[in-house]
Amino acid sequence: MKNFSTGAARSLTVSTRALALAAAVLAIPAQAAPAAASPNCSFRPNAPDQHVVVKRDTLWDISGKFLEHPWCWPDVWGMNRDEIRNPHWIYPGQIIYFDRAHGRLTLTRPGSTDPDAGLPPVTKLSPQIRTEELEREAIPAIPASAIEPFLTQPLVVEPRELEAAPRIAAAPETQVYLAEGNRFYVRGALHGAISFQVFRPGKKLVDPDTGKVIAHEAAYVGAAKLVKEAGPGVDVHTFVVTRSVQEMGIGDRLLPAPPMPVRNYVPHAPIAPVAGRVMAIASESNYAAQNQVVTVNRGALDGLDVGAVLQLYHLGKKIHDPGGPKGFLGIGKKTIRMPDEQYGELFIFRVFGHVSYGLVMQVTLPVQVGDVAKSPE
């Protein structure tokens, strides 16, 4: 008996079917291996035959309807490494089919030769819709609202970067705190940058493995723009506050404004094995749940990149063994070490040198500081 489809058909309003065709994944390479070949990418026994994409969907949610592990959906679409870095868009109204014969997902109905199969009905508009408007209709890989505040702030600042960061050295005598439009004076090397974030060093991020401080999670206080660089015989640069979200004052630090963040997140296993620990929970709580953000003690220099997925484990506890073996004079091993328990997955969406932000996905237990985060097995 076939499974029923999920969702309800909805129209996608676009000006041209060709544009939607170009933007979607319509062809799977013939050499792509079926997902069933990998234990991590097996399909669910009750996977539906098809799913109609709706606006509230995410790629992760859709994949979870078909796959035991949603993070490996690029494998069953046959996406290569370059395509993962620049993923195709999927839109509301499109139909995702489960091609059972080939063990893959596709936007073309299995057995169909119609190149338009899987696309929703088209309503022509006048004036013509722009490409960027169409892109805004595309469904995200993960819940965008959950990570938006963490894409550009707060900052994770590593020790050397903190030491070298320019600082606010002076302000007009009449101003204790700076507000939007106020000028102030900065000492330190700017390295050619013009726009900066202003931050205040905050909570220390301690590596659970080494006990050492590997970064500071800095409080974002605003933004500033260079007005005039220090000239001959002058020690400070002149800046103006362009945005203020907290009180800004002498001693606060500056870092160049980051580039626009990557938003085309496609989940994948790290290129090389990674094993880290949860260092902090963004909510300032002792625990994190699904769709909350945590910080881990691994980053770009450790092999992580945006979109990498790690499995979460509670560390195996040592428990008393009342029936443990007895040795000389009745002395024996009284405790046993339990295995680490895998209970969820973590989606890495922002990466620093040795630190990363991850979004908690599909957990069966709360996340705690000290939990293990490592490559899928």
E strand or H helix at 104: strand 104-106
| Per-residue tens of pLDDT for the chain, all 377 residues | 444 444 443 333 333 333 333 333 333 333 333 333 344 678 989 999 999 988 888 888 888 889 888 887 777 766 555 544 445 568 888 888 888 888 888 888 887 765 555 554 444 444 444 444 555 677 777 777 778 778 777 788 888 888 899 999 999 877 778 999 999 999 999 999 999 999 998 888 989 889 899 998 888 999 999 999 999 999 999 999 999 998 899 999 999 988 776 666 778 888 889 999 999 998 778 899 988 999 999 999 999 998 899 999 998 877 777 766 665 555 556 778 888 889 999 999 999 989 999 999 888 999 999 999 999 88
Half-sphere exposure of 58 (CA within 13 A, CB side): 18
Q: How far apart are CA 84 and CA 91, in angstroms?
A: 17
* pLDDT score of 8: 40
CA angle 60, 78, 71 (to 5 degrees): 25
SS3 of residue 326 by DSSP: strand
**What pLDDT is attached to residue 116?**
52
pLDDT of residue 23: 34
Burial tier of 108 (Cβ tally within 10 Å: 0-12, 13-18, 19+): buried
pLDDT at 337: 80
CB 344 within 8 A of CB 289: no
Domains assigned to the chain = 17-139 (no CATH), 155-256 (no CATH), 275-374 (2.40.10.410)
The torsion angles phi and psi of 23, rounded to 5 degrees, stand at: -90, -10
What is the C-alpha to C-alpha distance for residues 303 and 279, in angstroms, rounded to an integer?
A: 18
- Calculate the CA 162 to chain-centre distance: 24
**d(Cα 332, Cα 322) in Å, to the nearest integer?**
11
The label of the residue with tokens 């237990």 reads 365
Three-class secondary structure of residue 22 per DSSP: helix
Q: What is the pLDDT of residue 326?
A: 62
End-to-end Cα, the chain, rounded Å: 33
Residues 371 and 281 sit within 8 Å (Cβ to Cβ): no
pLDDT for the residue numbered 109 = 85
Nearest partner of 226 among 207, 206, 260, 254, judged by Cα:
254
Residue 224: predicted pLDDT: 96
Q: Are 248 and 241 in contact (CB under 8 A)?
A: yes
The pLDDT, as a whole number, for residue 81 is 52
